[in-house]
């Protein structure tokens, strides 16, 4: 993927894998943190992220932050879903990387039960989930 971030060109590789949801996702989140909660019509969505920063040369030489908070969920009707609940999971995605750097981590979101919407990264990359 290529684009611009804060006026600087950025190229990166992003891979989402091991998507887990439903009862299996709920079980995994509760294993990470017994205090994770869901409302009646909600479920957990957990996935792994592999990220590589191919090109990024900011003028101030600061690292690029990759985080689980960069991901949002949009329902199948294209409206953003915001839960009152938040998941705390082990090995969550959160790292500062420089050009050539790589990181991996997990993302956990609370989403509407049985909705096949979209994961959105940095408000610009959309991934359809099933």
List, as one string, the DSSP characters of 17-79: EEEEEHHHHHHHHHHH-TT----TTEEEEEEEEEEEEEEE--TT-PPEEEEGGGEEEE-TTSP
The domain total for the chain is 1
Q: Whole domain around residue 18: which residue ranges?
A: 2-128
H-helix or E-strand spanning residue 96: strand 94-97
Given a cut of 90, whether residue 74 has pLDDT beyond it is yes
CATH number where 67 lies = 2.60.40
H-helix or E-strand spanning residue 119: strand 118-121
Q: Which of 1-5, 27-31, 72-76 comes out lowest in average pLDDT? A: 1-5
Rounded CA separation 103/97 (Å): 8
What is the value of pTM for the model shown? 0.90
Question: Is 44 exposed, middle or buried (CB count within 10 Å of its CB: 0-12, 13-18, 19+)?
Answer: buried
Rounded CA separation 77/59 (Å): 40
Confidence of residue 50 (pLDDT cuts 50, 70, 90): very high
């Amino acid at each position: 993927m290529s684009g611009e971030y804060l006026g600087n060109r950025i190229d990166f590789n992003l891979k989402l894998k091991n998507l887990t949801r439903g009862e299996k996702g709920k079980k995994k989140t509760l294993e990470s943190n017994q205090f994770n909660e869901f409302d009646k019509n909600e479920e957990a969505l957990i996935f792994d992220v592999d990220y590589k920063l191919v090109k990024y040369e900011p003028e101030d030489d600061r690292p690029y932050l990759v985080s689980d908070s960069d991901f949002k969920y949009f329902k199948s009707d294209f409206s953003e879903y915001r839960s009152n609940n938040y998941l705390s999971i082990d090995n969550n995605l959160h790292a500062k990387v420089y050009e050539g750097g790589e990181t991996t981590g997990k993302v956990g979101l609370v989403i509407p039960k049985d909705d096949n919407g979209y994961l959105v990264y940095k408000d610009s990359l959309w991934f359809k989930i099933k």
